[in-house]
Chain A
């Protein structure tokens, strides 16, 4: 996907500062008013809660991402219905974008779910749904292609390109010169 744009609603989680990170190997001093001790105090309970909440949020977001193509599917279907079954620029454009979008989405499945990667978050489910929905979108595209008559599913599509058979015999002649 394009840079600077959100992926299916999970807008821009490109970087994050983890304030719970309390490693001591810092080469700069803490900002004034920041007390590291207070953090350390309720670290055990607070961080667990926080992590739980975050993983919950992550899995929720992952499901959201997984279901995002569904909306797309509906929209695509509507557009295809609008385009009709005659071959012209608009219908071809829509059909090919319907074919291209799922393919490009499938290529970047891993990348898409990267931000929600977590030991506690089960990503297989959302991924499968995401893949299934995209495959559905692709099928829709193929079906449209067929209904446009662009798939070689008839004998005529194969025969037309065949050259006529050569003849073994040659016969000439006719009337005599006058």
Chain B
């Protein structure tokens, strides 16, 4: 979108807005759209709009070699003239506007600079070889997108050439700057003075220079500063000026770094910096903190003894409500400082953890759950911009090694997957990080691509988790590359399956490991698959829009669901089930583009080992986007009902009918049942599914479910709403057993009477009044305390809290008075003693009587 404003401060200011191939003229007075001109049919790639009081020039390329200029009446939007010129060669890259009506662009081999001049709708062009301007023109030339009046910057290798475009359209090389990192746009500081800034690398330092556009010799500002090399290169620079007390101009520069952090530089110093890379979190994992080492030094205790006493006296005063206002503030401060929350050790309840986040820029941050501070951050060496790796992106982060046996002397480590470009075939790098220090332990540039990573449920003797990395050619590579890992994999060889979802052609395929790859050299860590099954959805009526599976680390407490009459339903708890939502191709676009008759939503629950469809359901007149969450034996999904014009949420619960005849108590008393013996998907258990749908007011950005350590606590759904808030909704509201009039027994069990829509209770927003701007995902992690689940929501903002879906039934509240409890116990013991003595005495008296 291109927005331009008339510079003349006229009352009839016209605001031109270009978007989606259409130019709109909006009145600057009341915001009314005065006229619009559609360019979508002209197939023109509009790049420039030049506004003058009478006419507006709309210029752009059609294809890569035809340059078009449309002349539009500024008052009416009427097309006045249309002119074009066909260049004898193709162009490459964006064209840059140099001054009012002149543009520069490079040709497709990047050896010529083309200057295009629109003079009253007439198009002239000149061309000049790059080699005429610079001696060494061997590298790829790029026009930098900095807007400088009458100038443009051309980058070749690490050099930048500043070229002036004269009024006649001639190109004159002005200056050549070495080791340049970034160029700013021109800044007008007075009527005729335009300045710009650029940064250069000098050994370990960075030199920031501000120069006048018309005066090359003197620099207005030259500052050296040192920037942490973790932040990478400088990507962009913006300047801003201020007037010093001596009426000279001072400048401050905002730098955007490679890791997406921001720095404000003024007077050679970094005034502030922000880790804005955290706004683009792509994946999250957690790590336990180090175990607290035994043996705190005595000196430390003694030093703190007085403080400790004082603190307790203050706290006592606080509890007895005799503390003064200052003392109350002191108590608050004390609480904050001495709070256990921000300690760097593992706590008993498991509330303190490290949240390890991977950002799009390939930087890894460890955040402390207690106060959200950054414990460490690392820019992965392998994910730095370089010749081989032009657009590095972070993809995923996994727990690689979680030591339990040697938790005291071994640190957990992480696996980070990154790629050098947006396409699947781009080269991939994997990196191993220490979770406590952020040190990069090892990094590998892989010879193969990465299409998918499957963490296997097996660990080797050093507790490293086995991972299968699958490339685009459907070869699987085993990591870690050790003989022991091969041994473990060989043992479980026939039990490892893999499924692939191909959204483009609507196929889901199941695969099993077959044998080692057959390359020129035998790679024993590489495996090929054989196809087991495939589900082909009819492409004319169904298109895969969402798939969801259970979290691999979810813990389920029990396989039985007890009904009101003490009857038992057996949950179908399998990790190998996949929820697939298919929409009609016509209705797979945005809401409102399809009629209810065209739209259907088909839901499948598929066993991914055998390819068996366990359940299929059709929602007529419904369409995506579908957001779903799978947990235990149920799936909850959110979609749009076109007929009712409302969003809906549905729940499906899957039960295992083949176990239902396990009813004889004596079998259980004697232990003669097979409910805990290992099961296989090939037994083909009989499945029954229960389902119910409800209306839901909000559209949804993400759905997650709470997870607890043992899976006993009841679940809550965490719904990231369109308003960027997180709503906690009890799973009880999405229970297919809800009826209009539940019996007394059902009510006692906690079944809520059926209503057509799900209630939104404002108190159950776990974000309270806060907003998680641009919410993209929610992650839940179990705490050690069974009742509590840790919730991390990320978007542009980050949000962390801990929630207890069934209240904290397993711990005393923070304001529980231990003193009172202690006092009661002491009083009781005293009373016991006194009454004992009294009764003895009375007994004696009785005997004497």
A residues contacting B by CB (< 8 A) are 4, 152-178
Contacts and interface: CB of A to CB of B under 8 A. Distances in A.
B662 interface: yes
Nearest to A153: B665
11 contacts: A4-B846, A154-B665, A155-B566, A158-B668, A165-B676, A167-B575, A169-B681, A171-B608, A173-B470, A175-B503, A177-B396
Could you tell me the dominant secondary structure of chain A's interface residues? loop
Contact of B574 (A155, A162, A167): A167
Contacts of A157: 566
B549 interface: yes
A163 B665 contact: no
A35 B208 CA distance: 133
B663 interface: yes
Counting chain B CB atoms within 10 Å of each CB, which of A152, A154, A162, A171 scores highest? A171
Given A4-B843, A170-B496, A177-B424, 17 more contacts: A155-B665, A156-B566, A158-B669, A160-B560, A170-B576, A171-B497, A171-B499, A171-B575, A172-B456, A172-B468, A172-B497, A173-B452, A173-B500, A174-B547, A174-B549, A175-B501, A177-B450
Contacts of B338: none
Which of B395, B668, B676 neighbours the largest number of chain A CB atoms within 10 Å of its CB? B668
B498 interface: yes
A153 B665 CA distance: 7
A165 B450 contact: no
B769 interface: no
B701 interface: no
Interface string B623-667: 000000000000000000000000000000000000000111100
A164 B574 CA distance: 9
Contact of A169 (B468, B662, B680): B680
Interface string B201-240: 0000000000000000000000000000000000000000
Contacts of A166: 678-679
Interface stretch (B134-142, B348-356, B534-542, B551-559): B551-559
A31 B444 CA distance: 113
A162 B846 CA distance: 59
B678 A161 contact: no
B451 interface: yes
A162 B566 CA distance: 16
Contacts of B680: 167-169
Residue among A4, A155, A169 with max Cβ neighbours from chain B (10 Å): A169
Given A155-B668, A167-B576, A177-B424, A172 B676 contact: no
Contact of B501 (A153, A162, A174): A174
Contacts of B168: none
A178 to B, nearest CB: 8
A176 B563 CA distance: 41
A177 B397 CA distance: 13
Contact of A172 (B395, B454, B566, B846): B454
A159 B498 contact: no
B609 interface: yes
Contacts of A162: 558-560, 675-676
Name the 6 nearest CB pairs between A and B, nearest first.
Answer: A158-B668, A172-B454, A171-B497, A154-B566, A159-B560, A156-B562
B567 interface: yes
Nearest to B577: A171
A170 B501 contact: no
Given A156-B562, A156-B568, A169 B497 contact: yes
Nearest to A3: B843
B828 to A, nearest CB: 18
Contacts of B573: 164-165
Interface string B809-836: 0000000000000000000000000000
B403 interface: no
B676 A168 contact: no
B32 interface: no
A167 B679 CA distance: 5
B676 A155 contact: no
Interface in B398-430: 417, 419, 424
Contacts of A161: 558
Contacts of B846: 4
B567 A156 contact: yes
Contacts of A170: 456-457, 492, 495-497, 575-576
B455 interface: yes
A172 B575 CA distance: 9
B44 to A, nearest CB: 30
Nearest to A149: B566
Nearest to B492: A170
A165 B677 contact: yes
Contacts of B450: 177
